[in-house]
Structure 1
Amino acid sequence: MSFQGISLEELEELEQELLGLGETRLGSLSYSKIEVYEAMHRQLEALVQEDEDYREYYTFIKKKLVSYLLRYGAAVSGSDRTIYEDSEKVLKKVLSYDSQNPIAAYRLGFLAYRSGAFFDAAAFLQQALNSQTFYTDERFLMNAEQISRAVLYIANCALHPAIRGEVPAMDFMASAEHATSLSTQLCYNDGMLKSQAYRITTPFGSVLCSKEESVEAPMQDVISLKFNKFGAVLTYNGISEKLAPVQANLLRYLLVKTRRGQAATPLALKDYFLFTHVVTGVPEETFLLVMAEVKQILMEMEIPSAIQTAEDEDYGFYFDGSMPFVVIDRVDEEMSL
């Protein structure tokens, strides 16, 4: 879509028209919104050169654009080559707007590693580790597990070609003994990566596990919310429902981060809702709409009501802890958002 000749004010109006599209209950993240934010970014980038008063708005729109691209990149990731290339293209676009973004570099490294491009993978992963030391926006930092995995991926990026003799070998690598040692180290690293690929969170805390361990059948009367490369699925007593990204992220936040006295509010969740450019928080009507959708899904799945209205917060909601739950995430896809 071309936005040449369209003013910033007209783009803002178009953004408002697109806010509810593609992220509703049965929808998915729409790339058309990304195009609008890209056009807004271009105009604001020029305006800020003339007037510093636009700086805060420009920074906000750039972060919103980066958030959209990261979410979209995760949504299109997969093993199919075309899907892989789409995800790679989106993540590289993130770096074109935010060259030091750690989580974008990490994901590019992970994609390159999976495709066997070990030199590229090591470069991206090292970039992610370097950026992690000085990057200030916590939303786009790697978590502790991703940092550890980046180190293991980088080590494996050296081990794979060395074992196959594809890089100049030092004298000690020529012996069968040391070749076996390298293979043993690679197997160990792979085992660590596979055994800690997913995070399982329950009311009692979090543990890392393998993909196989993460697919165990959900227990009776337990809310199960699982995130994978195909999206997010809510399961309860044999009934499953695929959730839109904003619904899944809201429900995860409610289950994992809220309790009485610490509610989910429009301000607390401003980074979880992509479809707003209001700096002070999510528009109340938007927040309440998605909250109503989540509660409606829980009711339709016959999940007992465990989401309560906070008495001390305007438009606040919290999980009362009356139901057991399990949330399963892929560590390589996790974001602080």
Structure 2
Amino acid sequence: MRSFFRFSSWVLMACCWSWGSAMAADFPTKTVRLVVPFPPGGATDALARLMAEKLSDKWKQPVIVENKPGANTAIGTDVVAKSAPDGHVLGIVTGSHVTNPLLGAKLPYDTLKDLTGVMMLTRFHMGIYAHPSVPANTPAELIELAKQKPPLAYAAATTQSYLGMSLLNMMTKTSMEYVAYKGSAQAINDVLGGHIKLMIDPVLHSTLQHVQAGKLKLIGTLSTKPADLTPNTPAFGRLVSGYDFSGVFGLVARGGTPSALVRQIRNDFASVMQMPEVAERIRSIGQEAITSTPEEYNAYILDEMKKWAPVVQATGAKID
């Protein structure tokens, strides 16, 4: 009897593998929808549209970008979670994909069951910017200043930035205070005007122009290494062992999509990202290509949940 069940299980697995491989070989059989959880016009949207164009040529099927902003990216991700597990609806996600369930968001999907990681696409760096009057120029000097003259206040436009700085506070025994802003533009203007002295924002050309003009200082990246755009700017992660608040854009598919198909989609995206035009676009918007495997991305999601869960608990952070 045991031999029969083992044989039946083997046959079932073989059939599933064969079915998944057949789907991968024929993919895509219709239009592919790439869901971007942000409004049109941003850097990530532009990159998604360029990749969609190149994938359309490669797959000989239309690849269309659908912008579904709102609910801290959950509206767009839900479109993928409610799709068929056949790879024809894919979604771009950010760090909120990890933190939304930790922050008590009432999600219409299960992050781990209804979605599966295809690959990490790109990494971007967050940085601490300061008004020129701040008497600190390096991560070490800022941390020492935060200990000597608390509280230092910082502007940030996202809950993720608050969590990233909360982790830095916990690891350095400082108490830099969060001042919430509705958007980066307002935060930048207030730091430029000296109304608030520090700001957390991505390392982008648009913000670095103020650094180059001497109107802001980039104290350091909140990563384990400097950003490619600012190779001479130190990283907080090199001073504070184990600290990393770099951001990742990832690609997800519906949970239950056959693994052979997921790997095929990953390989096709990776090949497109290596095209000179796409690679240059990635660099131009201050991001760095990763092109991980599905296994690496799913492991990363779990690791990030474990990393941020105690920070959320310690801060009591919530989102609606």
Under a length normalisation based on structure 2, what TM-score does the superposition of the two structures give?
A: 0.24
Greater share of strand residues, 1 or 2?
Answer: 2
Q: TM-score, normalised by structure 1?
A: 0.23
Name the structure, 1 or 2, with higher relative contact order (CA <8 Å, separation 6+).
Answer: 2
- The structure that is helix-richer by fraction is 1
